[in-house]
Amino acid sequence: MKVLVALSGGVDSSVAAAELLAAGHEVVGITMRLWGGESDTGCCSIADVDDARRVAQQLGIDHLVFNFTDDFEQHVVTPYVDAHRVGLTPNPCIECNRHIKFHRLSERADLLGFDAVATGHHATVVERDGKCWVGRGHDAAKDQSYVVHMLTGIDLARTLFPIGAMTKAQVRERAAALGLRTAAKPDSQDVCFITDHGGRAAFLGERIEFRRARVVDSEGSVVGEVPAVEMVTLGQRRGLHLPGGGPKQYVVHIDPAPTVMVGDEALLQREAMTVRDVVWVNDPPRNGAEMRVQCSAHGATTAATLTADDFGGTSCEVRWHAPQRRVAPGQSVVFYDPTDAFVLGGGIAV
């Protein structure tokens, strides 16, 4: 089988390519140039492209580099900036997976005549009732099913996750045994276009005008001020410049007008939430379906019931079996089957 594998320059994708070769596939590596600006973190630096090229040489496979910087700016960077402008907390890595790392990768695979695409994500493809689903990676600490939840059953029928059944330790051991230059390379931890020395504030500050916002308590009394409402996140406790000595205060509401409300953590508790832009891996579930819901990349799942007027639509309500802390609007919400083994779909918190 001809497989186009995404080589990011990290150890996971390096071993993914090696595993495909060992299985007898015809493998070609592709590296995507996504961020045309300065980058010293994440997965898009010039050094990463060079590492990917050298790994391809070590493995003896062809290596292609495609420039998707315009697509990345349009589908990832601009929405990231716009979301902060209106008080949302976006997840740019998920949007990158949605629009670039899988959509554009699959397009190129079709154009070049490949049978399948592969990445180094810690996830699996699960087959149930003749359909494909995103399954959890075997290493619970590294599971990335949450960040690839947008893949449909049709996508998954031609997608391979070669390291999904391996632990991270096994991946590094395999890379070391093969002598790959990425064997000891640290994992990417941050958003690729946010530099370590500048940070999120510097990046956003160059693109939007920060607005000061008064901080009020739950009764409307002014208790402080923040220099940039665009940098405040629901549930935030530190960095609010509040007087000390009192009970812990959390951001419980953000009004881009701009005002930030703080209060006791109990004010963040909710019995239900609305999720928009929902995409299902296969057919939508029945109304009132029971499932597990995950609201952060490595968070625990929680039992909930899903309801909607029309599950063929793009929004639904999550009703928790027990009250949960409110999810920051803009964050991804992913639905798993009741056994917590595979993804049913996901959307964006309202």
Show the tokens assigned to 208: 């939007």
- Classify the phi-psi angles of 199: left when phi > 0, otherwise alpha if psi is within -120 to 50, otherwise beta: left
- Give 192: exposed, middle or buried? Use CB within 10 Å, 0-12, 13-18, 19+: buried
Of the candidates 19, 10, 311, which has an alpha carbon nearest to the alpha carbon of residue 160?
A: 19
- Give 296: exposed, middle or buried? Use CB within 10 Å, 0-12, 13-18, 19+: middle
Residue 277: partners with Cβ closer than 8 Å, 6 or more residues away: 314, 315, 347, 348
Token pair 């060079």 is at which residue?
A: 50
| DSSP-assigned beta bridge partners for residue 349 | 275
Is residue 120 a contact partner of residue 15, using CB atoms and an 8 Å limit? yes
Catalytic: which of 132, 192, 295, 316?
192
Active site residue 43: no
Show the tokens assigned to 153: 């059953």
Give the integer Cα–Cα distance in Å for 344 and 135. Answer: 10
Active site residue 192: yes
Catalytic: which of 96, 132, 295, 316?
96
* One-letter identity of residue 341: A
Residues labelled as active-site residues? 96, 192
